[in-house]
């Protein structure tokens, strides 16, 4: 995405910390995703 998006513009991502479903998205997975996105 950064290759197509201007460097001077912010690139934002909004995710829910949890989806409140048994076996679903967890806060720990949200932290992992944030770390992956930060390094991208």
Per run of 10 residues, the mean pLDDT along the chain (length 40 residues) is 84 87 91 88
Length of the chain: 40
Query: Is the pTM for the entire model greater than 0.75?
Result: no
**Can you give the pLDDT at residue 35?**
93
pLDDT for the residue 7? 86
In Å, what is the CA distance from 10 to each residue of 3, 20, 25, 26?
Answer: 13, 29, 26, 26
Give the pLDDT of residue 39: 80
Measure the CA–CA gap between 6 and 9, rounded to whole angstroms.
6
CA dihedral 19, 21, 25, 28 (to 10 degrees): 100
């Amino acid at each position: 995405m950064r290759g197509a998006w201007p460097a001077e513009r912010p690139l934002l991502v909004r995710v829910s910390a949890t989806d409140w479903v048994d076996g679903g998205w967890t806060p720990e997975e949200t932290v992992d995703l944030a770390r992956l996105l930060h390094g991208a």
